[in-house]
């Protein structure tokens, strides 16, 4: 199950990439800083763990809740078929 996709302006992704060393061991799977951290550095009023609210109008908590609710419903329907 996935949450709603949240578009992120390229400037924040680029900032996170720029802060990741070339020899970062986990670069194949991610960056050294989160997009939320990169956003918070440029927009200090934005909570790095809830940046989704600014770009999608929905909190991270709501996104995860809706994904969990959808997953539970899909499971319930599958067990009754």
CA angle 75, 64, 56 (to 5 degrees): 130
pTM, two decimal places:
0.77
CA atoms within 13 A on the CB side of 60: 8
For every residue of 31-57, DSSP letters joined together read -SS-HHHHHHHH-TTS-TT-THHHHHS
Q: In the chain, where are the structural domains located?
A: 10-79
Provide the residue-wise pLDDT of the chain in tens; the chain has 81 residues.
677 888 899 999 999 999 999 999 998 999 999 999 999 999 999 999 999 999 999 999 999 999 899 999 999 998 876
Which two structure tokens, joined as six digits, stand for 21?
């060393």
CA angle 10, 24, 17 (to 5 degrees): 10
Going by the DSSP 8-state scheme, the letter that residue 6 receives in this structure is -
């Amino acid at each position: 199950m996935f949450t709603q996709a949240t578009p992120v302006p390229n400037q924040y992704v680029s900032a996170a990439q720029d802060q990741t060393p070339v020899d970062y061991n986990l670069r194949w799977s991610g960056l050294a800083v989160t997009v939320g951290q990169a956003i918070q550095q440029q927009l200090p009023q934005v909570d790095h763990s809830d940046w989704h609210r600014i770009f999608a109008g929905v909190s991270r908590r709501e996104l995860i809740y809706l994904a969990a609710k959808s997953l539970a419903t899909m499971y319930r329907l599958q067990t009754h078929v």
